[in-house]
Amino acid sequence: MPAFAKIQDYELNLSNQFVNAETIAALSAYILDQTALLNEKVSK
């Protein structure tokens, strides 16, 4: 996960943080990856 993006208590606040296409792509990939892992864990 990009250092600037901390998900806490189901909340993501990116206010006043400069982002670009690369950082958002990395964040989106992290979200998808972790969501898939979590779903896998829950379904077991």
- Residue window 1-40: x/- pattern of binding to another protein, with contact defined by CB under 8 A: ------xxxxxxxxxxxxxxx--xx-xxx-xxxxx-xxx-
**Phi/psi-derived region of residue 6, left when phi > 0, alpha when psi is between -120 and 50, beta in every other case:** beta
Residue 3 or 21 with smaller CB distance to another protein: 21
CA distances from 19 to 15, 26, 44 (A): 10, 11, 36
Q: How near is the Cβ of 10 to another protein at its closest, in Å?
A: 4
Residue 3 or 11 with smaller CB distance to another protein: 11
